[in-house]
Amino acid sequence: MKKLFITLAAAGLFCTPLLIWNSAHGAVAPAAGSGSAPEKVAGVPKAAATPAPAKDELKTLPMNSRADTIDLKGRFFINKRKDGVEVKNVLTSTTEIKQGGSPALFEDIKVGDYVSGSRRKVSDTEYTVVKITKFGPRASKKDSAAKPVATKAN
């Protein structure tokens, strides 16, 4: 009985701030007895309540892919995954393109270049590119392994 009381008290403590926050920010709640139809809550009419974007829509993902096909008019490039599926990466008017630290153009990217940056998922085979930070031929492992390591002479 004591465990049940503690569990119920903890649930009440964690849910109360959420209920207060929802009512203060004009959350839309279903009408009592009407199923799932929204009604006016905390002075906000149901027409004015806009749904928040899904969590996945706001999340940016890292991008490091090869540009197998480039369409300059449509402003997108396609890369082919290992399983053979083609993935479309669409650039928007707000896409920031840089090569290292300096500004660049989409036209500078060539077929076969590796493109790094960030993107947002639209579907399993389509992404919206947010930012391109680097592009060009793939760096070979020999180049990265051949870098000399600085040693201090006594």
As to burial, measured by CB atoms within 10 angstroms (0-12 exposed, 13-18 middle, 19+ buried), residue 132 is buried
**Strand partners for 131:** 96, 118
**Which DSSP string corresponds to 39-76?**
--BTTB-TTT--PPPPHHHH--EEEEEE-SEEETTTTE
Each of the 154 residues of the chain gets a pLDDT tens digit; together they read: 777 767 776 666 666 665 565 666 555 555 555 555 554 445 545 544 555 555 555 788 999 999 999 999 999 999 999 999 999 999 999 999 998 889 999 999 999 999 999 999 999 999 999 999 988 888 776 655 555 555 555 5
**Domains of the chain, start order:** 1-50 (no CATH), 55-139 (2.40.50.320)
Which has the closest alpha carbon to 109: 63, 72, 64? Answer: 72
